Structure 1
Amino acid sequence: MTSPQSAYRSVVRELNRALTSAPATRSKTIAKNFRAVIENGRQSNPQHFDHDLANALTFMRSQRMHKMLLERYNPLHDMSTEERVKATARRVGLDMPVRENGGEGQ
């Protein structure tokens, strides 16, 4: 089993990788509260808490890997429906026709 310090550091590293904002703009209260949760959890039931912390770490790593794989193999996943249709049409060499919103023939 890993030491409590290494488990804490691993979770902090995963949190830093998951966050998109710059370190200087992150809220300091979140870090304080996280540290307090870790300390209180260790005092109540250390063995059970270490297991839960390891599970949380595995979950965060899996989420990050899933997001990375989605971006790599499905580049259209974060686009709107209209953008996705245009990008798909461009991929096969077509351009989408310009829609007229005021036309009665639709």
Structure 2
Amino acid sequence: MSSTTSLYRSILCELRKSAVSPRPERSRAIITHLREALTNPRISQAQRQQDALNALTFLHSQRSYEELLVRYNPLHDMTPEERVKATARRVGLDVPVEAEEDSLKNS
């Protein structure tokens, strides 16, 4: 049981590291389902440990993927307009200012 417990704690630690929202706002459903899966008597101990190890590997890989995405693709979390402006700045250009509809109707 100690290895399952240590895997459970590692999963909780990985969930904490990859969390986007502050702790009080996080859903308890993930932890509840995880605890139920790791204490389910119908599943063998070896299968529970394998499932916990798979979950831990997935969470760690997902967090690493997000870190690499931010590092090597800094435009991934921008809106399309911001992405166009940033790309234009990268090559030394500025995006022209668009005219507003009200000024077009009055002229």
Task: Answer yes or no: same fold by TM over 0.5.
Answer: yes
Q: One-letter code of the match for 1:23?
A: R
Give aligned-pair identity as a percent.
48
State how far apart, in whole Å, the 2-side matches of 1:89 and 1:29 are.
Answer: 44
SS of 1:3 mapped into structure 2: helix
Give the direction of change, closer, same or farther, for the CA distance of 1:73–1:38 in structure 2 (3 Å limit).
same
Residues paired across the two proteins, number: 101
Q: Is residue 4–residue 48 contact of structure 2 (8 Å, CA) maintained in 1? A: no
Kindly indicate whether residue 35 of structure 2 is the aligned counterpart of residue 31 of structure 1.
Answer: no
SS of 1:12 mapped into structure 2: helix
For residue 52 of structure 2, what is the aligned residue in structure 1? Answer: 53
State how far apart, in whole Å, the 1-side matches of 2:88 and 2:5 are.
Answer: 52
Q: One-letter code of the match for 1:47?
A: A
| TM-score, normalised by the number of residues in structure 1 | 0.80
Give the direction of change, closer, same or farther, for the CA distance of 1:56–1:46 in structure 2 (3 Å limit).
same
Name stretches of at least 5 consecutive residues in structure 2 with no aligned partner.
none
For residue 65 of structure 2, what is the aligned residue in structure 1? Answer: 66
For residue 10 of structure 1, what is the aligned residue in structure 2? Answer: 10
1:84-103 → structure 2 map (5 Å cutoff):
84-100=83-99, 102=101
Residues 65-97 of structure 1 deviation map (CA, whole Å, 9 limit, x = unaligned): 010011011110111222111001112221101
Per the TM alignment, residue 9 of structure 1 is displaced from its structure 2 partner at its CA by 0.7
Q: Say what the alpha-carbon RMSD is for the aligned residues.
A: 2.1
Give the direction of change, closer, same or farther, for the CA distance of 1:33–1:51 in structure 2 (3 Å limit).
closer
Per the TM alignment, residue 37 of structure 1 is displaced from its structure 2 partner at its CA by 2.3
Which 4+ runs in 1 deviate beyond 4 A? none
